Amino acid sequence: MSEFEAVYLETKRKGLLRDKINQARRLLTPCTLCPRECEVDRLSDELGDCKTGEEAYVSSFNAHFGEETPLVGAFGSGTIFFTHCNLLCNFCQNYDISHEGNGTEYSLGQLAGTMLILQNNGCHNINFVTPSHVVPQILAALDMAIDGGLKIPLVFNSSGYDKVETLEILDGIIDIYMPDFKFWDPKIAELTCNAPDYPEVARKALKEMHRQVGDLQIDERGIATKGLLVRHLVMPNGTAGTEEVMRYIANEISKNTYVNIMDQYRPCGKSHHVEEISQSLSSAAFKYAMEQAKAAGITRFA
């Protein structure tokens, strides 16, 4: 078995992590960390769309066995669910966390300690869920966690609404990127998230993520160690644009991209008030979406 080393350990040894922490922290005042570019002073606890000031909020952390198989293994993926979100889909299945702010403020020390608890419990990775708005906090806590012995892969589990400039700071930090690619049509993105730029942002984000880590690599145990894993939630009435999304991934990212096409859409949050997405996904619609993905050239499925 080849020996794995998380990429952030070398970054720390080279003395580059501190520079990245400072670089990310500067983006908080005025905040231009994500595509919303609210330009509030988060270091003074001014709040923009993500409702998060200087400290991160966490809703829960645990060894999660509901993630993709290469992340879960025998002992689970060490998920840290951050409260709030920068995309705010109106159909979010975690509406109480993303929109209503269900969670607890965490200091950097608490966040670092949580990473170490998950590692000590045997988790195969640290899986940051909805991390796009708390990149500076993650980096600062990571510095402390490394000093405490952290050594397992880091997973950046995001909506795909990530600025390339912020992702560039994460080069040499993140081992596994797991973004969503939610919608192809800007009109649908505006209708559901008030983010008509989402499709363009996600396309650029996925390219940058793949540039950093490449296709998903899985070790002899079946555990992911590095690479890109893309999630796509099929939505009713073709609103997610599955065919176009899969064609883009196959042609512009890699036909070897590991893709999880998900069938669990159900009306949540405020989606009942939006006609196009007010019903659950039919099995026939999901089957058709899978056919579209295969026709586009995707071959690796979760």
Could you tell me the CATH number of the domain that includes residue 81? 3.20.20.70
**Averaged pLDDT of the chain:** 96
Q: Say if 204 falls within a structural domain.
A: yes
Q: Say if 244 falls within a structural domain.
A: yes
Q: Say if 2 falls within a structural domain.
A: no
Quote the strand ranges of the chain, DSSP E.
Answer: 56-64, 77-82, 104-106, 126-129, 154-157, 176-177, 217-218, 224-233, 258-262, 300-301
Q: Say if 287 falls within a structural domain.
A: yes
Q: Say if 98 falls within a structural domain.
A: yes
Backbone CA torsion sign across 95, 98, 104, 109: positive
Q: Say if 178 falls within a structural domain.
A: yes
Q: Say if 1 falls within a structural domain.
A: no
Structural domain count, the chain: 1
Q: Please give the pLDDT value at position 275.
A: 82
For residue 222, pLDDT beyond 90: yes
pLDDT digits (tens, 9 = 90+) for 41-56: 999 999 999 999 999 9
Q: Say if 119 falls within a structural domain.
A: yes
Structure tokens that stand for 25 in this block:
């922290």
Binned at pLDDT 50, 70 and 90, residue 2 comes out as low
Q: Please give the pLDDT value at position 3.
A: 81
Radius of gyration (C-alpha) of the chain in whole angstroms: 18
Domain ranges, residue 164: 7-301
Global pTM reads 0.97
